[in-house]
Structure 1
């Protein structure tokens, strides 16, 4: 008797694909999602505490350099994700999906608890950031195996016609993990004074991960192996060299490149903008009070979460491509207006100052430095203004000329922070956003809009990736391009964007980076992505 059946859509599928029961599917989704939630929570606690780590783990005296270094370490976890994809992809395709679940959750949990126990710079000097980098890299390695494993496992346990819907629940865990990290950090902050939080309170969110780790391990051990992998194993179809075969098969490599330069890079950019940089922009550039920033961001995340499931479900009905690809174009066209609107509604005084006053910096001995302390008066001046979030125009003059700053007609020669602040304040510059002037509903709406664009891509993308590759190379083939795209393009976005802003003396210049990447994603997706929802995955 044939294993092939004719579906109502005219697609021939293996009858064994239809076997997973709804109860088994629900257990798979719950157990996989809770573990993924833990991994995202662990990864995002650091994002919620970037400013704190800049103060505690780096040498004092250069606020901008410390902030950029802290953002770079945040991105370091994302840089290592493709390595994790190859390592755990090999084991997942060679020995089974479930094995990687337990391994990745252990590595992530231990690394997160380790960060919560780290000594600070004042205690051990440069060893503190070195250890921090090591634990962040371990987190990135674990996440590189987790995403591909969860995507493959849940999709292979879902019934045909429900893959987008089933995997979209998994996709909500990234947002819920971020939300949980924000809530935990905010509650801990509000429960003590700033001095206690900076001394020891920041450790609590990391140590809480131990409880989640125990629950995740219990749930994951109840799972059985993927039915697709079991059938491959019984038929002798398991790949013995999944990494080599993935990278040596021309058709497979083509699919990997299409995934990388279309929705993988697109979803990374949308993730970086909607989840991280928007909150960073509010708190650090627009100087909105951190707790208020967290509350506004949390409201947007809660409102957006159901849309992951909506777009996942919709992709089962109308297809994956034309939900994901247009979101990249819409985002490319609207990102810059949205961030200017955030300035308008979150800190209108800053917007008025920027529109009504010109700040000009002149110098002949300026050089942009990412991590090293500023040396010349010109470097120190630009560094100081960048730290305040003040946009300015830089004019290079003859070498050796003294630095000069002009603020609304007032000229200041040399590096004089007190005089800079006085001139800026007299011209109407706000040192912080006035809470009563923050239009909370509009800020939440703008943040929600950015996350909704992410849900359009992120909701259907797991089912799309699994359907794109053959079962025996699936874990490795989808993990590598996904983590390069989402990890490198998206994970380093806050650092790259902030660096461009600091280099140009602008709070908007860096937004051209996500705009350009999203336009490339749209073009590649439009030209080369083929619809996959009717593909057999067995």
Structure 2
């Protein structure tokens, strides 16, 4: 978990480092550096010795590589979209940059196929032992192709123009954040665009996978199959909504996607649960689960880096039910009472870690988890979703709708961000709000949603996080951010007229 979170934490810092470099020395030069900094650590992960071989040096090295990747990603996006946008006109900028936006979903889709193929070729046991290294090692070939292509590219025309005219920014960070107007635009583009983009992207594409696998206990192969089909069906909508933003504007497409997501996430996710694991719904109706615990002793189990420890009895009870993806209600008890779980007529006392060593607490927690699992099974709660009961066509349809929301908010975002800022600070100013919105608001969504679910017992309660953020983005973007598509076109027309 810490290795996963590390990459997201440093993304905004990468945007500042490489954004400054890109605005001063050029777009092409900078994203040559970022692709190497991304590709080499990916390859090296496939070579890392295991913990059994080098001990703590293994996870430390992995985290260091993830930090390098996070820094690289922080600078990669701004460079790519700025480069393509500066080769485009306002009338085709949304369409052209939308192809960049397809790479997130395309990459996820490709990774699903590669992992599935390697698992099939090696078998599950060999994949777990050494086969997982193959996709990482193969990435060196992709790095070579990317380097070759980028070396063939020329610098963007707008940057070359600034270079000839001597109008490049000498201090992009100061010109971005020391200028009140530019700094306010950065803040508003975060709150009125990229924060909503981040939560919609992760809720529609990544959290739904977590929800299927961890919450609804759907077989991994089935979950990956329905997700892959939905991704393929949704992929063309990236280009469509990019094209549409060139016709009606960036703002209406993005904000409509945020609004639709905020309004429909709850019914869509409840429908996914109904069609993926109907036995879970039935068991919850027939044998409701209740946690009896003192409210003041229950923690919000937000643990994005995996280092926190929750040992009070209330935390043990709620964590056990969250791990089993069981909905529950809570009944308040007096302070000092040991928490207990009531499953129908069965009552199970939770583990209180006070006064226990780490090994003792771990042993008692394992026994407690087993007792809870047995009680749930005897009350009709399924350990996994029954494959024959999974309605795959309906899951594909519902997840495709989620992917369409993602394409609506994501496709025109690059063009909107680029057009909000002058070319002298464009790389810096575009990168930072994107990486905070996508890396922090979106990247920490799974951990945040899990903590909210564990705290309330409602498997849908974590959806309030993306719903609230997407709603705020809709309001802020609608009120405070301008439409840029037609303003950019008018500016070009004016410049041509004055030249003539």
TM-score after normalising by structure 2: 0.89
5 Å-filtered alignment, 1:11-410, equals: 70=1, 72-364=2-294, 366-368=297-299, 370=303, 371-410=307-346
Corresponding residue of 1:527: 479
Following superposition, the deviation at residue 530 of structure 1 comes to 1.2
* Contact 1:307–1:452 (8 Å) recurs in 2: yes
Change (3 A) 1:320 1:374: closer
* Whole-angstrom CA distance in 1 between matches of 2:372 and 2:423: 62
* Contact 2:298–2:455 (8 Å) recurs in 1: no
Q: Residue 341 of structure 2 aligns to a residue in which SS? A: strand
Q: Residue 433 of structure 1 aligns to a residue in which SS? A: coil
* Whole-angstrom CA distance in 2 between matches of 1:412 and 1:494: 29
Which of residues 459, 468, 474 is equivalent to 2:420?
468
* Whole-angstrom CA distance in 2 between matches of 1:221 and 1:366: 58
* Contact 2:199–2:438 (8 Å) recurs in 1: yes
Q: How big is each residue's C-alpha offset from its partner over 1:57-76, in whole Å with a ceiling of 9 and x where there is no partner?
A: xxxxxxxxxxxxx2x53233
Which of residues 440, 447, 450 is equivalent to 2:399?
447
Q: How big is each residue's C-alpha offset from its partner over 1:334-356, in whole Å with a ceiling of 9 and x where there is no partner?
A: 11211111100111111212233
* Whole-angstrom CA distance in 1 between matches of 2:293 and 2:396: 40
Q: How big is each residue's C-alpha offset from its partner over 1:33-86, in whole Å with a ceiling of 9 and x where there is no partner?
A: xxxxxxxxxxxxxxxxxxxxxxxxxxxxxxxxxxxxx2x532331221111111
Q: How big is each residue's C-alpha offset from its partner over 1:132-181, in whole Å with a ceiling of 9 and x where there is no partner?
A: 22211211111111100000000111234111111111111111011111
Change (3 A) 1:230 1:195: same
Which of residues 438, 451, 476 is equivalent to 1:486?
438
Corresponding residue of 1:36: none
Following superposition, the deviation at residue 451 of structure 1 comes to 1.1
Q: Residue 292 of structure 2 aligns to a residue in which SS? A: strand
* Whole-angstrom CA distance in 2 between matches of 1:254 and 1:452: 30
For structure 1, which segment, 80-89 or 128-137, has the greater mean C-alpha deviation from structure 2 after superposition?
128-137
Change (3 A) 1:321 1:121: same
Following superposition, the deviation at residue 125 of structure 1 comes to 4.1
Corresponding residue of 1:429: 381
* Whole-angstrom CA distance in 2 between matches of 1:499 and 1:118: 32
Following superposition, the deviation at residue 361 of structure 1 comes to 2.1
5 Å-filtered alignment, 1:503-522, equals: 503-522=455-474
Change (3 A) 1:418 1:487: closer
Following superposition, the deviation at residue 333 of structure 1 comes to 1.1
TM-score after normalising by structure 1: 0.83
* Whole-angstrom CA distance in 1 between matches of 2:146 and 2:370: 53
Corresponding residue of 1:37: none
Q: Residue 200 of structure 1 aligns to a residue in which SS? A: helix
* Whole-angstrom CA distance in 2 between matches of 1:468 and 1:274: 26
* Whole-angstrom CA distance in 1 between matches of 2:61 and 2:90: 46
Q: Residue 118 of structure 1 aligns to a residue in which SS? A: coil
* Whole-angstrom CA distance in 2 between matches of 1:492 and 1:372: 15
For structure 1, which segment, 371-380 or 209-218, has the greater mean C-alpha deviation from structure 2 after superposition?
371-380
Following superposition, the deviation at residue 318 of structure 1 comes to 1.2
Corresponding residue of 1:411: 347
* Whole-angstrom CA distance in 1 between matches of 2:58 and 2:447: 20
Following superposition, the deviation at residue 129 of structure 1 comes to 3.0
Q: How big is each residue's C-alpha offset from its partner over 1:239-281, in whole Å with a ceiling of 9 and x where there is no partner?
A: 1111111111122112111110011111101111112100111
* Whole-angstrom CA distance in 2 between matches of 1:163 and 1:199: 46
Unaligned runs of 5+ in 1: 1-69
* Whole-angstrom CA distance in 2 between matches of 1:395 and 1:211: 57
Q: Residue 281 of structure 2 aligns to a residue in which SS? A: helix
Following superposition, the deviation at residue 396 of structure 1 comes to 4.1
Corresponding residue of 2:356: none
Unaligned runs of 5+ in 2: 352-367, 496-500
* Whole-angstrom CA distance in 1 between matches of 2:382 and 2:317: 18
* Contact 2:316–2:350 (8 Å) recurs in 1: no
Q: How big is each residue's C-alpha offset from its partner over 1:410-444, in whole Å with a ceiling of 9 and x where there is no partner?
A: 22345544432232112210000111111101111
* Whole-angstrom CA distance in 2 between matches of 1:165 and 1:379: 49
For structure 1, which segment, 375-384 or 266-275, has the greater mean C-alpha deviation from structure 2 after superposition?
375-384
For structure 1, which segment, 387-396 or 251-260, has the greater mean C-alpha deviation from structure 2 after superposition?
387-396
State the superposition RMSD in angstroms: 1.9
Q: How many residues align?
A: 468
